[in-house]
């Protein structure tokens, strides 16, 4: 892992932010750590990253890291625990409610409940956090684009 970070740092003019992004992504993402360097480098290259591009970092954190973390937490951990204690249908409902309540504002909670229900169905059918993460990221990034336009 240290080698990946040193390579990532040297690839972008010794910017420590790349290493920090790699660490943050790997801490909250269920994907193998080797996947993070290409993701971080591709994102930074696509957005023509500059240290002053704070809004892009917010977009990256909110639109990509947030959904990955939420999927890992709610579908990966919370649902697994609840599924052991309750019937599957009840575990799915409780997980969705907890996911929705983690969002602020009544509109956001209702929207998160709807999206959480869809994500829960997808996860229940595929048992893949990668699939729900990709879907969640696409929804969040699209929503952020609507808000910022």
Determine the pLDDT at residue 89.
Answer: 95
Determine the pLDDT at residue 143.
Answer: 76
What's the rounded Cα separation, in Å, for the pair 48 and 50? 7
The DSSP annotation for 23-65 comes to HHHHHH--S-GGGHHHHHHHHHHHTT--TT-HHHHHHHIIIII
Q: Closest by alpha carbon to 47, among 58, 37, 31?
A: 58
Per-residue tens of pLDDT for the chain, all 149 residues: 333 333 333 334 444 444 445 445 444 445 544 455 556 556 666 655 554 455 667 677 788 888 999 999 999 999 999 999 999 999 999 999 999 998 878 888 999 999 999 999 999 999 999 999 999 988 888 777 666 54
Global pTM exceeds 0.75: no
Q: Closest by alpha carbon to 67, among 136, 113, 149, 144?
A: 136
Determine the pLDDT at residue 28.
Answer: 47
Specify the length of the chain in residues: 149
Helix then strand count (H, E) for the chain reads 9, 0
């Amino acid at each position: 892992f240290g080698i990946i970070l040193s390579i990532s740092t040297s690839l972008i003019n010794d910017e420590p932010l790349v290493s920090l992004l790699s660490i943050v992504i790997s801490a909250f993402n269920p994907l193998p750590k080797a996947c993070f360097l290409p993701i971080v480098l591709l994102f930074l290259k696509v957005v023509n990253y500059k240290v002053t591009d704070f809004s892009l970092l917010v977009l990256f954190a909110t639109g990509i890291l947030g959904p990955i973390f939420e999927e890992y937490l709610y579908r990966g951990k919370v649902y697994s625990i609840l599924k052991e204690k309750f019937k599957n249908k009840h575990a799915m409902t409780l997980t969705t409610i907890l996911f929705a309540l983690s969002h602020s504002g009544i509109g956001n909670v209702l929207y998160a409940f709807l999206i959480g229900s869809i994500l829960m169905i997808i996860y229940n059918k595929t048992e893949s956090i990668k699939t729900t993460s990709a879907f969640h990221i696409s929804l969040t990034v699209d929503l952020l684009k609507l808000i910022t336009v």
